[in-house]
């Protein structure tokens, strides 16, 4: 029988039974092992005996990034430190990093989840996986590598950047899978075209971590590299790291590993569940995590709820693409805008290439103005650019209900990045 990392359940009721067992275990474990959680649960008047059905998750108190910072350096710890075998930290930009602890079993569970990602992407032990993401204190590189080795494929731990070496490995080692940020994927795709390497490499799949990518950018990368498929891998350090789900080859949403965590998608204001198709904040409760369990952790990541099953037949449920973080929300002339909305909007229009930038500034009249710089497809005429400019401005007015100036640039005019690209420039001051 083929080795599989998929859960050993055949229908939704079995999955829910498994989730209920895990939820009861987590609340019991957190209550017993963590003074922080015991205090929090006591204050909310709930305890291990309160969990009788999956609905009872809604009676549990929320946990936030602030709780993690306050508990520095070992927040949410629910086991003795002697059982902790590793820590990772998020690459946060301000103040103290979020540090998360792992037991041996936590590392094994993470490895299993990540191997499942590769399995869902159709990666096999015959594949060679070039891992071009960061190694170190954060979870990226080591996560991609653990999962690859667990699956049995060949890991090429290249690390980020160093385009010459990446190209050389693609050619000499005949890597079939490349793991990187979407920005790095674009950079590599354009480099492969520039160096005329396409006929000399064996790349079939790209797996993107930690950055949103619009359809226009994905189409350009796929065309330039001649790929079979590309996948988004979500994840955050608080919840093990990357590898907690994957969009399957049908690309109808991102399957998430519901046998490892419960996902609620809630309105960030009311904290009530959003309806099917609506956008809300991802709130996660782990089912097996030992060292730093999460109970209703507010991730600040925004996504759309998807209630329908995927046509691939896998019973693991779906959520939408990550649209950005609620902290990244821009308020422009009284309208709330999430950065991911630009990806979505630009993906719907033909004639657009991959990169764009949004500039916000305040003029002498005290009003805010938005300029959108967008790259068009190579070889577009001036007339076409004018049409495109108008079409984008119209779409923004219709979908975001704001006015903006649009500048159309030739493909390749905006900067490329080996890590994550900055696309929103808020120059309005305070």
Token pair in block for residue 222: 């796929």
Nearer to Zn ion, 120 or 133 (CB): 120
The minimum distance between CB 309 and Zn ion, in angstroms, equals 8
Are the C-beta atoms of 356 and 347 separated by less than 8 Å?
no
> CB of residue 266 vs Zn ion: minimum separation in angstroms?
24
Considering the complex, state which of residue 306 and residue 312 has its C-beta at the smaller distance from Zn ion: 312
CA angle 390, 393, 394 (to 5 degrees): 85
Taking the least distance from each CB to Zn ion, the nearer of 61 and 122 is 122
Min. distance of Cβ 117 from Zn ion in angstroms?
Answer: 13
State the nearest-atom distance from the C-beta of 233 to Zn ion, in Å: 14
CB of 249 to Zn ion, least distance (A): 7
Token match 């015959």: residue?
Answer: 126
Closest by CA position to 314, among listed 226, 389, 252? 252
- What is the token pair recorded at 278? 């609506």
The least CB distance from residue 300 to Zn ion, in Å, is 26
Given the rule CB under 5 A, which residues bind Zn ion?
A: 248, 250, 310, 312, 314
Closer residue to Zn ion, CB minimum distance, 144 or 231 = 231
Q: Which is nearer to Zn ion, 187 or 310 (CB)?
A: 310
- Determine whether 301 is exposed, middle or buried from the number of CB atoms within 10 Å of its CB (0-12, 13-18, 19+): buried
Give the nearest distance from C-beta 231 to Zn ion in angstroms. 11
Can you list the alpha helix ranges (DSSP code H) found in 211-326? Answer: 215-225
CB closer to Zn ion, 248 vs 284: 248
Does residue 73 have a cis peptide bond before it, meaning omega lies within 30 degrees of 0? yes
Query: Closer to Zn ion at the Cβ: 308 or 422?
Result: 308
Nearest by Cα to 239 from 310, 151, 143, 366:
143
Residue carrying structure tokens 């209920």: 20
Q: What interhelical angle do 382-399 and 339-347 show, nearest 10?
A: 130
Strand partners, 236: 241
Largest CA distance in the chain: 70
> What stretch of H or E contains 347?
helix 339-347
Nearer to Zn ion, 310 or 376 (CB): 310
Give the closest residue to 372 by CA, choosing from 358, 360, 384. 358
- To Zn ion, the closest distance from the beta carbon of 28 in angstroms equals 33
Are the beta carbons of 339 and 360 closer than 8 angstroms? Answer: no
Nearer to Zn ion, 313 or 379 (CB): 313
Expressed in angstroms, the distance from the first to the final Cα of the chain is: 62
Shortest distance in whole angstroms from residue 401 CB to Zn ion? 34
Number of residues written out for the chain:
430
């Amino acid at each position: 029988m083929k080795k599989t990392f998929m859960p050993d359940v055949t229908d939704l009721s079995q999955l829910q039974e498994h989730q209920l067992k895990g939820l009861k275990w987590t609340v019991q474990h957190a209550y017993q092992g963590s003074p922080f959680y015991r205090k929090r649960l006591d204050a909310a008047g709930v305890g291990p005996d309160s969990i009788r059905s999956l609905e009872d998750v809604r009676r549990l108190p929320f946990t936030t990034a602030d709780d993690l910072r306050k508990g520095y350096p070992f927040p949410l710890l629910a086991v003795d430190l002697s059982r902790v075998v590793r820590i990772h930290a998020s690459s946060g930009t301000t103040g103290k990093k979020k540090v998360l602890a792992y037991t041996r079993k936590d590392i094994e569970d993470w490895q299993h989840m990540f191997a499942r990602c590769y399995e869902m992407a159709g990666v096999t032990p015959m594949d060679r996986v070039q891992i071009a993401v960061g190694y170190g204190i954060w979870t990226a590189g080591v996560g991609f590598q653990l999962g690859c080795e667990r699956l049995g494929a060949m890991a090429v731990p290249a690390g980020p950047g160093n385009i010459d070496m990446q190209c050389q490995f693609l050619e000499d080692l005949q890597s079939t899978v490349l793991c990187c940020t979407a920005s790095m994927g674009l950079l590599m795709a354009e480099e492969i075209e520039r160096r005329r390497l396409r006929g000399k490499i064996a790349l079939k799949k790209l797996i993107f971590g930690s950055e949103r990518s619009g359809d226009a950018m994905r189409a350009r990368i796929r065309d330039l590299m001649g790929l079979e498929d590309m996948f988004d891998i979500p994840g955050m350090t608080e919840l093990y790291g990357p590898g907690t789900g994957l969009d399957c080859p049908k690309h109808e949403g991102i399957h998430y590993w519901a046998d490892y965590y419960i996902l609620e998608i809630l309105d960030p204001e009311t904290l009530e569940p959003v309806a099917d198709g609506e956008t809300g904040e991802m709130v996660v409760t782990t089912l097996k995590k030992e060292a730093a369990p999460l109970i209703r952790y507010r991730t600040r990541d925004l996504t759309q709820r998807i209630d329908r099953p995927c046509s691939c037949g896998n019973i693991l449920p779906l959520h939408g693409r990550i649209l950005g973080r609620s902290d990244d929300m821009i308020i422009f002339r009284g309208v709330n805008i999430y950065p991911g909305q630009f990806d979505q909007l630009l993906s719907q229009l033909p004639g657009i290439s991959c990169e764009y930038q949004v500039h916000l500034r305040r003029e002498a009249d005290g009003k805010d103005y938005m300029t959108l710089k967008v790259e068009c497809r190579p070889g577009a005429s001036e007339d076409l650019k004018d049409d495109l400019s108008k079409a984008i401005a119209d779409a923004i007015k219709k979908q975001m209900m704001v006015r903006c100036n649009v500048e159309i640039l030739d493909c390749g005019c905006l900067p490329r990045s080996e890590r994550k690209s900055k696309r929103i420039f808020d120059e309005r001051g305070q």
